[in-house]
């Protein structure tokens, strides 16, 4: 079976790998000259299985209004709202209640926990080196309200078999001694010991080489223009380098998936939620994070790679705007200066921005579309690195007809049912 995978971000690459391992003849197409040059390039590096949660949660609408007036707020909205954003935000608001939150988080945890198993097997077999660590995520709370809000997650963590520990302030400092500067300023923390960290770009470069050696064909510098259909089938992909035929087609274009599918009458509810990252070299081991710290106040993640840290956050609803304005980067600078003022070298700061492919319910869209041989593996939002391997294995099972995953829950069907 010939499968054409559109996109070579972490989701397209892992899809290609698991499809190839399942016996498919795979071709990957991407407009960039290397894999993972867009949103998978400099994300926060959290492989946070236990932290997998939808942004659409009870209380978010009122918090969002408050954030609009704060200097270092995690959410920013461009004053001119587009119809596309209004439609997406409307669907997201419908998910901001406890019942929907539970369903969505349970789905995300299911994909994330599958990813944990897949990545463990990959690492066992191939000893990948992506500056990974297995020391967990520490979510830090600066006030009692944040601490009590986490209670809604505890039952779901237990139901999904995800290990966790609630820590008091002194235990937080024992877990992450570099946080000594925060003594007296923390209310507590949630520690997720099975979470991991790693540089997504390094992982992708290695997986791309492994996939190539396993026979996957990569067509880089190739801009996808449209899908060519006949009846209820896709017969080819039209690109600026010619057409590519196949038996099955997988759309893994991240935030750009919507644009390719809309002309076919398929509306995937994905909005490009812009985020920023900052990479800094470590200059003092004792005053730097040792794994991932998630600062709940600013929704900023700080992750340790070998001799660097990656700091990322901010959700900006502004369409595809690649600019790096100082006032947005200020939040990341503020959090690092607050938590680890002496651990890193600010003179070597590298800033980056990317577009999270966000669905209104936080869960990716994996599976068949209304067209017979067209599939999606997209919409991984804030946690595409975390959920990539599991999503890809699930997709490969759906395409090859093996496996037991409840695919309707993850596919576009869940949105078509509501339309």
Ligand X SMILES: Cc1cc2nc3c(=O)[nH]c(=O)nc-3n(C[C@H](O)[C@H](O)[C@H](O)COP(=O)(O)OP(=O)(O)OC[C@H]3O[C@@H](n4cnc5c(N)ncnc54)[C@H](O)[C@@H]3O)c2cc1C
User: Under the rule (CB under 6 A), what is the footprint of ligand X?
Assistant: 7-12, 30-32, 36-40, 43-46, 223-224, 252-254, 256, 275-277, 301, 312, 354, 356-357, 378, 380-386
CB 405 to ligand X: min, Å: 19
| DSSP labels, 66-87 | HHTT-TT-SEEE-SS--HHHHH
What is the C-alpha separation between 100 and 94, in angstroms, rounded? 8
CB 376 to ligand X: min, Å: 10
Measured from the CB atom, the residue of 141 and 385 that comes closer to ligand X is 385
CA 203 from chain centre, in angstroms, equals 14
| DSSP labels, 29-61 | E-SSSSTT-STTSS---EE-TTT---S--TTHH
Q: What sign results for the dihedral spanned by CA atoms 101, 102, 104, 105?
A: positive
Measured from the CB atom, the residue of 52 and 175 that comes closer to ligand X is 52
Measured from the CB atom, the residue of 24 and 383 that comes closer to ligand X is 383
What is the C-alpha separation between 123 and 116, in angstroms, rounded? 11
CB 130 to ligand X: min, Å: 12
Measured from the CB atom, the residue of 7 and 343 that comes closer to ligand X is 7
What is the C-alpha separation between 85 and 360, in angstroms, rounded? 11
CB 73 to ligand X: min, Å: 15
**CB of 240 closer than 8 Å to CB of 222:** yes
The H or E element that residue 122 is part of is: helix 98-126
CB 382 to ligand X: min, Å: 5
Measured from the CB atom, the residue of 105 and 380 that comes closer to ligand X is 380
Q: How far is CA 308 from CA 132, 185, 239, 288, 339, in A?
A: 12, 25, 38, 9, 15
Measured from the CB atom, the residue of 64 and 332 that comes closer to ligand X is 332
CB 5 to ligand X: min, Å: 10
Q: Which two tokens stand for residue 177?
A: 């001694």
Measured from the CB atom, the residue of 266 and 312 that comes closer to ligand X is 312
**CB of 309 closer than 8 Å to CB of 339:** no
Q: How far is CA 275 from CA 90, 247, 310, in A?
A: 21, 36, 13
CB 230 to ligand X: min, Å: 21
CB 321 to ligand X: min, Å: 13
Measured from the CB atom, the residue of 34 and 187 that comes closer to ligand X is 34
């Amino acid at each position: 079976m010939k499968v054409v995978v559109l996109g070579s971000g972490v989701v397209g690459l892992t899809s290609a790998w698991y499809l190839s391992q399942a016996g498919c003849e795979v071709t990957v197409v991407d407009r960039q000259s290397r894999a993972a040059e867009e949103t998978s390039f400099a994300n926060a590096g959290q492989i946070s299985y236990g932290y997998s949660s939808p942004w659409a949660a009870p209380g978010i609408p009122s918090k969002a209004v408050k954030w609009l007036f704060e200097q270092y707020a995690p959410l920013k909205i461009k004053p001119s709202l587009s119809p596309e954003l209004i439609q997406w935000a409307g669907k997201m608001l419908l998910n901001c209640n406890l019942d929907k939150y539970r369903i969505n988080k349970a789905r995300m945890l299911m994909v994330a926990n599958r990813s944990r198993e897949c990545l463990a097997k990959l690492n066992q077999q191939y000893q990948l080196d992506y500056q990974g660590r297995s020391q967990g995520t520490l979510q830090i709370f600066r006030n009692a309200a944040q601490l009590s809000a986490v209670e809604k997650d505890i039952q779901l963590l237990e139901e999904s078999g995800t290990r966790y520990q609630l820590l008091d302030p002194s235990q937080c400092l024992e877990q992450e001694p570099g946080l000594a500067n925060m003594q007296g300023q923390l209310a507590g923390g949630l520690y997720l010991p099975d979470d991991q960290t790693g540089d997504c770009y390094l992982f992708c470069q290695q997986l791309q080489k492994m996939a190539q050696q396993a026979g996957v064909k990569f067509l880089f510098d190739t801009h996808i223009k449209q899908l060519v259909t006949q009846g209820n089938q896709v017969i080819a992909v039209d690109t600026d380098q010619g057409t590519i035929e196949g038996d099955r087609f997988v759309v893994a274009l991240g935030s750009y998936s919507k644009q390719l599918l809309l002309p076919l009458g398929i509306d995937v509810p994905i909005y490009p939620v812009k985020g920023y990252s900052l990479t800094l070299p470590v200059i003092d081991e004792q005053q730097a994070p040792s794994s991932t710290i998630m600062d709940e106040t600013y929704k900023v993640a700080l992750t340790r790679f070998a001799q660097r840290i990656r700091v990322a956050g901010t959700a900006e609803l502004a369409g595809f705007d690649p600019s790096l304005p100082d006032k947005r980067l200020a939040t990341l600078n503020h959090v690092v200066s607050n938590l680890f003022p002496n651990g890193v070298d600010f003179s070597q700061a590298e800033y980056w921005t990317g577009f999270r492919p966000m669905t209104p319910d936080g869960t990716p869209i994996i599976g068949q579309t209304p067209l017979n041989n067209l599939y999606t593996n997209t919409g991984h939002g804030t946690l595409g690195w975390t959920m990539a391997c599991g999503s890809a294995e699930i997709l490969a099972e759906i395409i090859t007809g093996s496996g037991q995953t409840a695919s309707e829950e993850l596919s576009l069907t869940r949105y078509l049912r509501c339309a």
